[in-house]
Amino acid sequence: MQVLSLSMQGVKPASPRIILSKGGYPLWAFNHGEFGRNRHMVTFPLGAQDFPTPQRANDEDEDELLQMAIEQGLEPQGPYRMIPLRTGQGAPKLDAKGQQMYLLGLASRETGESLIFLDLNPGWRGNATYRFEGDLRLLAEGTQALGAVGYAGAAPCPVLLGGGGPALIQWERTGQLWGGGPRWEAAFNGDHWAISELPDLPQ
């Protein structure tokens, strides 16, 4: 499985970051969404055994550890596999929104699946909506501020799982917009993604 970032700008491999666990231990993770009031970050930690991080010797912060990891050639390389997390009692481990949490481990081979972080680029003081069809399912959803300036509110940050077959995603942005128009489409033909801006709907 590969991990992708999809937006108006196109499709590219998503970049994991180093985060600190509650105990202060560094680990790699993919994040989608934001922290803060009315917002939610979806986190996919990477297994420490498969994806080591630098040793934290002098209270280095996350950015310093990431730079150390790059210098030491420790940046994770897939393919990945999803492992559902469970509590000590064996029940599914859920995040604050009640969504199943997953760990990503190293897969022995590529499966054709894709974990897709969809960036809807909501407008300032606006919002964004989306729909999808085909070989996709909604795995989780984070939330982000309504506009880059941090206006209090929440727009969706979808995480989709693609099975490798044809798929279609459409989304619409409202508010004060930058970088393009309000309506967008991403089409997957089983081989590659094509991102296009859609014409405005007739008034």
Using one digit for the tens of pLDDT, what is the confidence trace for 74-109? 999 989 999 999 999 999 999 999 999 999 999 999
φ/ψ bin of 164: left (φ > 0), alpha (ψ from -120 to 50), beta (otherwise)? left
Bond before 79 cis per omega within 30 degrees: yes
What's the confidence (pLDDT) of residue 148? 53
DSSP 9-22: TEEEE---EEEE-T
DSSP 28-70: EEEEEE--STT-BEEEEEBPTTTS------S---HHHHHHHHH
What's the confidence (pLDDT) of residue 152? 57
Q: Per residue, what are the HEC states of 121-176?
A: CCCECCCEEEEEEEEEEEEEEEEECCCCCCCCCCEEEEEEEEEEEEEEEEEEECCE
Q: How far apart are CA 82 and CA 146, in angstroms?
A: 30
What's the confidence (pLDDT) of residue 24? 85
What's the confidence (pLDDT) of residue 151? 57
What's the confidence (pLDDT) of residue 133? 98
**Regions in the chain scoring below 70 on pLDDT:** 147-153, 202-203
Q: How far apart are CA 24 and CA 48, in angstroms?
A: 14
What's the confidence (pLDDT) of residue 123? 82
What's the confidence (pLDDT) of residue 117? 98
Chain position carrying tokens 């991990």: 3
What's the confidence (pLDDT) of residue 161? 98
Collapsing DSSP states into helix, strand and coil, what is residue 71? helix
Strands 183-188 and 102-106: unpaired
φ/ψ bin of 153: left (φ > 0), alpha (ψ from -120 to 50), beta (otherwise)? left
What's the confidence (pLDDT) of residue 55? 86
